[in-house]
Amino acid sequence: MKERIEWLKGLTYIPQKEIAWLIEQAELAEKQRAIIEENKRQQEVTVNQFRQAQEEISRLRGELKQAHEKSSNHLDEWRRAETQTAKISDELMNMKGLLRVEQGKVRQAQEEIQRITKENSNFRRLLATFTDEEDDPFGVVRKALNGQFPAAWEGDAE
């Protein structure tokens, strides 16, 4: 093609066929220029989209990092709560054991109260047999049945 252009430059008269070829070449050059410009425009669009994608990736990485930190904090909180729950569960189990022990003591105390109540009832019946003047000349049994005890008995622990 260069040779043909150089040959045409040397001519004083350009034949019609060569003018048509020059016009074709000019149109072809214009089309190529348009294609090149369109490619440049598309390349700029692609570069711009690539930059935007990089910015979006950077932003998303930041969000991911924040989400990861939040989830890590939530996981730490969850682990602390789990530990506290385990401690509370252990304490509850210990308290249940203590409650069972105390319930056993209450049952024993109730049984002791029933036994003492029965003994007291038997003792009252026995004392009631000594209420006449002949068996209780000083009225001590009668006073005991009414809850009046001699001063020496009140402090007696045995």
Domain that holds residue 101: 2-150
- Asked whether residue 48 carries a pLDDT value surpassing 80, the answer given is yes
Residue with tokens 């049994």: 141
- Asked whether residue 156 carries a pLDDT value surpassing 70, the answer given is no
Structural domain contains residue 125:
yes
Full-model pTM = 0.43
Contact 136, 142 (CB under 8 A): yes
Q: What are phi and psi of 128, to 5 degrees?
A: -60, -25
Structural domain contains residue 158:
no
Closest CA to 141 of 153, 129, 151: 129
User: pLDDT for 6-39, tens place per residue?
Assistant: 776 777 677 888 888 888 888 899 999 999 999 9
Number of domains in the chain: 1
- The beta strands (E) that lie in 46-139 are given as none
Structural domain contains residue 157:
no
